[in-house]
Amino acid sequence: MNPRYLTFGFLHFFFSFVGQTFFISLFVARMTERMDWGESTFASLYSGVTLVAAFILPLIGRQIDRLKVRYVSTVTAFCLIVGTLLLAFADETLLLVAGLFVVRLGGQGVLPLIGSTTIGRFFNARRGRALALSIIGLSVAEVLLPPLATYAMVSYGYGPVWLMAGCAVLLIFVPAVWLLVRRYDDFQRADTVAEAQRREAPAAVEEDSWTRTQVLKDRRFQLILPIILFIPFVFTGLVFNQSVIAEQRGYTAETMAYGLSAYGLVRVAFLLFGGDLIDRVGPTRLLRFVLLPAVAGLLVLLLVEDSWSVPVFFGLMAVSGGMDSVNTPALWAERYGPRFLGSIKSTVRLFVVVSSAAAPILFSYGLRWGLQAWLGILVAYGLACVGLAVAERRT
């Protein structure tokens, strides 16, 4: 395996922290206070810019397929730096919203897309392991950065923290991109990767390189899409409404926090385990089993009201979440080839973001019927997805 390219992928996931929810959420209270907003204003603006960014992402995905990846990464990095400057100094709503939009599009959207697309299309052998080692960069950021950012914010205010984030992108990420990927590397472009793979297996690559339009019309893709949306939809909805769930069940806030901690730890472990498993059995075969732990976790939460069911549920959800994080990009690369992978993955990302944005609203209505009834519906959804995976395998 090529350590330069793996480091390239890792850094794209790690530095995506600039636009990830776990990082931005640290500043919500202070931004709201500074801008003198109402209680729900930030959440509304945040959801709006996230949805707009998701609809723009497919246009950028096409550029990842066309252009040299060093240039796309560098332009994205400088856009992120502009976004951090806006968030550090903005004292008007329009400028702050612009900053949020830039960091959400570049951090939460483009950087992970570049990382998973380039790694997924380049590595044929041990693709699962390569993707896992790259994606774990985000988990490292989730562990390291919140306490560091919180300490810095208490000491210096939230503006300097955004400046530090921008400086880190400028002084670490940008030079690393240019050092890790050389000028004439095949890794740079989708067409050169496809050409190199065509020389090794001409018929396979030519047959497997699908365009985005072909993928959207593919019956197998249509069967898989609800499966891909299950984890982000269910996890986002449950976490967003965790206080409602705790109130209905009589759980404490600490119980829910322990559950989220369990999710983070288990997910990291199964990112690595899932990568090796994918390399052994293949992403298509594994797709039938990925959601079974999550469905089992929902059944535990449905049938057991004791507080220990919470960390068990989150742990089982993390098993599925960790493996799914690696299995899905490996599946796209294996099934649809390297040439148009950026366009395909960015379109899938649009579906994921829309489902995640809809989850809090749908869950808030669903929980009005009672937690038991809503969990039963989610279990049925999960079992239906398992059935779709079996049907897709036979298509």
Output the pLDDT for position 364: 80
pLDDT score of 91 more than 50: yes
At 266-293, the pLDDT tens digits run 888 888 888 888 888 888 889 989 999 9
Q: Given 199, 227, 246, which residue is the final one in a domain?
A: 199
**pLDDT tens per residue, range 203-233:** 544 446 788 899 999 999 999 999 999 998 9
Please check whether residue 132 is in contact with residue 274, taking contact to mean a CB–CB distance below 8 angstroms: yes
For residue 257, pLDDT over 80 is answered with no
pLDDT classification of 177: cutoffs 50, 70, 90: very high
**Is residue 258 assigned to a domain?**
yes
Vertex 45: Cα angle to 40 and 46 (nearest 5): 95
Q: Assess if residue 354 is contained within a domain.
A: yes
Of residues 290 and 251, which shows the higher confidence score? 290
Q: Are residues 181 and 228 in the same domain?
A: no
Q: Are 194 and 52 contained in the same domain?
A: yes
Cα–Cα distance between 385 and 257 in angstroms, integer?
28
The mean predicted confidence, pLDDT, of the chain is 87
275 and 186 within one domain = no
Percent above pLDDT 70 for the chain:
96
Same domain, 179 and 222: no
| Higher local confidence (pLDDT), 204 or 19 | 19
Tell me: do 136 and 164 sit in the same domain.
yes
- Same domain for 214 and 347, yes or no, is yes
Is 337 contained in some domain? yes
CA end-to-end span of the chain: 33
Residues 180 and 289 in one domain: no
Please report, for residues 69, 220, 375, 378, the alpha-carbon distance to residue 363 in angstroms, rounded to integers and kept in the order given.
39, 28, 10, 10
Do residues 272 and 348 both lie within one domain? yes
Q: What is the mean pLDDT of residues 73-84?
A: 96
Task: Let me know whether 94 and 121 are in one domain.
Answer: yes
- In angstroms, rounded to a whole number, what is the distance separating the alpha carbons of residues 271 and 246? 28
Residue 204 lies in a domain: no
75: confidence class by pLDDT, cuts 50, 70, 90:
very high
Residue-number span of the structural domain to which 166 is assigned: 3-199
Domain count, the chain: 2
- Which residue, of 169, 199, 229, is where some domain finishes? 199
**C-beta separation of 32 from 119 below 8 A:** no
Whether residues 171 and 303 share a domain: the answer is no
**311 in a structural domain:** yes
User: Do 232 and 314 belong to one domain?
Assistant: yes
What pLDDT is attached to residue 171?
97
* Spatial distance between the Cα atoms of 312 and 285, rounded to a whole number of angstroms: 26
> 125 vs 202, which has greater pLDDT?
125
CA distance 107 to 21: 10
Any domain includes 124: yes
User: Dihedral through CA 99, CA 150, CA 267, CA 384, nearest 10?
Assistant: -50
In a domain, 83, yes or no: yes
The CATH number assigned to the domain holding 193 equals 1.20.1250.20
202 pLDDT tier (thresholds 50, 70, 90): low
pLDDT for 304-324, tens place per residue? Answer: 988 889 899 999 999 999 999
Query: Which of 155, 177, 199 is the C-terminal boundary of a domain?
Result: 199
Residue 369, in any domain of the structure: yes
Same structural domain, 156 and 50: yes
For residue 43, the tally of other CB atoms under 10 A from its CB is: 15
